[in-house]
């Protein structure tokens, strides 16, 4: 099994699954890109019931934002924009 990102599509208001990704790092990158479109990330799941804790996803997003790469994503698991 590959890694996937679960998210709420802002326009459809429906939970969606990303395409399958080979690594956890690729899944985090995909989550970041999905969050740029104002989608709400709800989970990152991997092989053998692996998952990335929400706190780890939020920390990764914060680190990515601090590195000066584009955009500030919608807060993970939160319907309000992050500050």
Phi, then psi, of 40 in degrees rounded to 5: -95, 115
**Digit-coded pLDDT (tens) for 16-46:** 999 999 999 999 999 999 999 889 999 999 9
In this predicted model, what pLDDT tens digit does every residue of 39-73 receive, in sequence order? 999 999 999 999 999 999 999 999 998 887 655 45
Domain borders along the chain are: 4-66
**HSE of 5, CA atoms in CB hemisphere, 13 A:** 26
- With 0.75 as the threshold, say if the pTM is over it: yes
List Cα–Cα distances, 53 to 8, 33, 60, in angstroms.
17, 18, 11
């Amino acid at each position: 099994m590959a890694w996937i990102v679960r998210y709420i599509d802002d326009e459809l208001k429906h939970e969606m699954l990303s395409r399958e990704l080979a690594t956890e790092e690729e899944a985090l990158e995909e989550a970041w890109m999905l969050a740029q479109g104002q989608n709400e990330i709800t989970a990152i799941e991997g092989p053998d019931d692996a998952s990335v804790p929400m706190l780890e996803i939020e920390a990764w997003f914060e680190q990515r934002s601090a590195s000066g790469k584009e955009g500030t994503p919608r807060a993970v698991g939160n319907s309000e924009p992050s500050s």
